[in-house]
Amino acid sequence: MPTETAPAYTYPERDEIRIESVLHALADPVRLRIVRQLAAAETGEIACGNLDVTVSKSTLTHHLRTLREAGVIMGRQQGTARYNSLRLEDLDALFPGLLNGILSAPR
Q: What is the binding site for a copy of itself (CB under 8 A)?
A: 15, 19-21, 23-24, 26-29, 32, 94-102, 104-106
For a copy of itself, the closer CB: 26 or 60: 26
Task: Say how far apart CA 46 and CA 44 lie, in whole Å.
Answer: 7
For a copy of itself, the closer CB: 1 or 105: 105
For a copy of itself, the closer CB: 26 or 73: 26
Contact of 42 with 83, CB cutoff 8 Å: no
Catalogue the long-range contacts made by 9-16 (C-beta closer than 8 Å, 24 or more residues apart).
Answer: 9/68, 9/75, 11/68, 11/71, 11/74, 12/69, 12/70, 12/71, 14/71, 14/90, 14/93, 14/94, 16/71
Least separation in angstroms between residue 28's CB and a copy of itself is 7
Least separation in angstroms between residue 61's CB and a copy of itself is 21
Least separation in angstroms between residue 26's CB and a copy of itself is 5
For a copy of itself, the closer CB: 4 or 15: 15
Task: Say how far apart CA 76 and CA 9 lie, in whole Å.
Answer: 10
Least separation in angstroms between residue 80's CB and a copy of itself is 33
